[in-house]
Amino acid sequence: AMRRAVCPGSYDPATNGHLDIIERASRLFDEVVVAVGVNKNKKGLFEIEERLEILREITAKLPNVRVDSWEGLLVDYCRENDIAAVAKGLRSVSDFDYELQMAQMNRELTGVETLLMANNPVYGFVSSSLVKEIAALGGEIEPFVPPIVFERLSEKFPKLGR
Ligand code: COD
């Protein structure tokens, strides 16, 4: 049987930290679905369509990775798509508290397993929200994001383009 995992997130926008986790998951599973959670109450900087487009581009070199979006409970999405595991990155102790709670709750709900991978320390301090804040204020973000994300952020924040 096909072993399938999901890498869920907001991906607003994707960072090199996300990409590292996606690549590592793709080596462990037959198929990895990178899924963008749609939260109607939380309008991000990037439209869902743009987040998907960026993810498709940066994962194009990974043949067993596909990109999708979902709305509602992650466990329902997993059940509907025959996904046995949620694969995520763990940056810090503060990530851990929240991720452990969600992992336990999701397992209680449907039995879906969660794999928490120790992040690459190079990306330990990288998050979408810090990248957006630094970009908005004209700081250096190129080392933390894939080139297409740098381009898209430069369009939104002309200060970056220089
Ligand atoms: N290094 C390694 N991993 C990283 C890094 C980094 N620098 N940055 C992010 N990650 C990983 C983390 O594993 C993180 O969990 C994941 O990438 C996604 O990060 P974000 O910031 O894009 O996404 P979040 O944290 O906003 O996503 C939260 C979800 C949408 C996954 C979550 O809220 C969810 O599952 N919601 C659906 C509703 C639901 O089922 N709720 C009940 C939960 S019990």
pLDDT in tens, 17-29: 999 999 999 999 9
The pLDDT value recorded for residue 161 is 62
ipTM of this complex: 0.96
* CA separation for the pair 16, 26 (Å, rounded): 15
Average pLDDT rounded to a whole number, residues 121-134: 96
Q: Is the CB of 37 under 6 A from ligand 1?
A: yes
The encoded tokens of residue 8 equal 């869920």
- Is 113 buried (19+), middle (13-18) or exposed (0-12) by CB count in 10 A? middle
CA atoms within 13 A on the CB side of 1: 6
Give the global pTM: 0.96
Average pLDDT rounded to a whole number, residues 31-48: 96
pLDDT in tens, 61-88: 999 999 999 999 999 999 999 999 999 9
Q: pLDDT class for 1, splitting at 50, 70, 90?
A: confident
> Which of 11, 15, 74, when mutated, tests ligand 1's pocket best, judged by the most ligand atoms within 8 Å of its CB?
74
